[in-house]
Amino acid sequence: MLAQVAGTFRVINTALAVTAEKLRANPKGAPAAGSLPRFEARFSTSRRDILKAQRLRYRVFSEAYGARLNTPFGLDRDAYDRHCLHLVVRDTQTGEIVGYTRVLPDSRIHRTGGFYSQGEFHMGMVNHLDGRVAEIGRTCIHPDYRGGAVIAALWSCLAEYMLVENIRYLVGCASVSLSHGYDVGAISARVQAQHLSPRDQRVHPRRPMSGLSRPVASDTVRMPPLLKAYLRMGARVCGEPCWDPDFNCLDFLVLLAVEDLPARYVQHFLQPTPSLVAS
């Protein structure tokens, strides 16, 4: 087991060195002529980009999920936004922002009083994680772009960020809408059977919903795309979900350790992109 872990870290450290070297060699992240991908993920500090992302968040959470957002001007924003890194996925053919997540690294939580997820979960376990932690949140994909490519671009950037910034863990909420016909009992049962974190990495929801899990054939469960993407990346679910009445959903807290990234994703994602360059 120790040899396997050591081997995993050698792969990760090698990938980090190669990625960092290529980023130094191409500091502006300019792609080769004719090689511009359809979707480009990058961190942005542009006020215009952040406003567009907040508008996308509002549209997805209010229109698609029925969330009750008491924010003006059709924007979803809160006090955490000013302290987060904003990762946007852009359609390079139209220039529009079609995917988004925000990242709050542990180096900034002294400004916020903690991670956003601590409002939903008792998260004492995060203080005992061995390594740097960053929280992802407000993840959303434009309704017209949910075929998987945008999520893949977003995760490519997040994987690169983890390695370059020496982040060992990502933590965040994966939501299951209560208005989209998902069988939340079946989803909970599958999570319990296949995807739970170790006991010392569990959390407790502040608003639990009892009686969710029930026996079900795992291959028949329809999973929300974002939760499915997290689990494919090797993330673990840290216990029972929390009911979020404002967003009309159940939130599962997920934890992804960099050493749990599947080898195929390490190879695929750790290609140098302009993703770490702020505009």
- Return the bridge partners of 175, or none: 251
Q: CA end-to-end span of the chain, whole Å?
A: 43
Indicate left, alpha or beta for 215 from its phi (over 0: left) and psi (-120 to 50: alpha).
Answer: beta
Work out the angle at residue 236's Cα, subtended by the Cα atoms of residues 116 and 100, and round it to the nearest 5 degrees.
50
Q: Are 222 and 182 in contact (CB under 8 A)?
A: yes
Give the number of other CB atoms < 10 A from CB of residue 244: 18
3-class SS of residue 138: strand
Which residues have C-beta within 8 Å of that of residue 74, sequence separation ≥ 6? 55, 58, 59
Rounded to the nearest integer, the mean pLDDT of the chain is: 82
Q: Which domains does the chain have, with CATH numbers?
A: 2-276 (3.40.630.30)
Q: What is the pLDDT of residues 181-194, one digit of tens each?
A: 899 989 998 998 99
Q: Are 174 and 254 in contact (CB under 8 A)?
A: yes
Q: Are 42 and 275 in contact (CB under 8 A)?
A: yes
pLDDT at residue 7 in the model: 45
pTM here is: 0.80
Q: Are 276 and 23 in contact (CB under 8 A)?
A: yes
pLDDT at residue 16 in the model: 38
Query: Exposed, middle or buried, 20 (CB in 10 Å: 0-12/13-18/19+)?
Result: middle
Q: In this structure, are strands 249-257 and 236-237 parallel, antiparallel, or unpaired?
A: antiparallel
Q: What is the pLDDT of residues 247-269, one digit of tens each?
A: 888 999 999 999 888 776 666 65
Q: How many CA atoms lie within 13 A of 113 on its CB side?
A: 5
The per-residue pLDDT string of the chain (279 residues; one tens digit each, 9 = 90 and over) reads: 333 433 444 444 444 333 334 333 333 344 444 567 899 999 999 999 999 999 999 998 887 666 676 777 789 999 999 999 999 999 999 999 999 999 999 999 999 999 999 999 999 999 999 999 999 999 999 989 987 899 989 988 998 899 899 999 999 999 998 888 899 989 998 998 999 999 999 999 999 987 676 665 556 789 988 899 899 889 999 999 999 988 888 999 999 999 888 776 666 655 544 445 443
Q: Are 99 and 154 in contact (CB under 8 A)?
A: yes
pLDDT at residue 273 in the model: 46
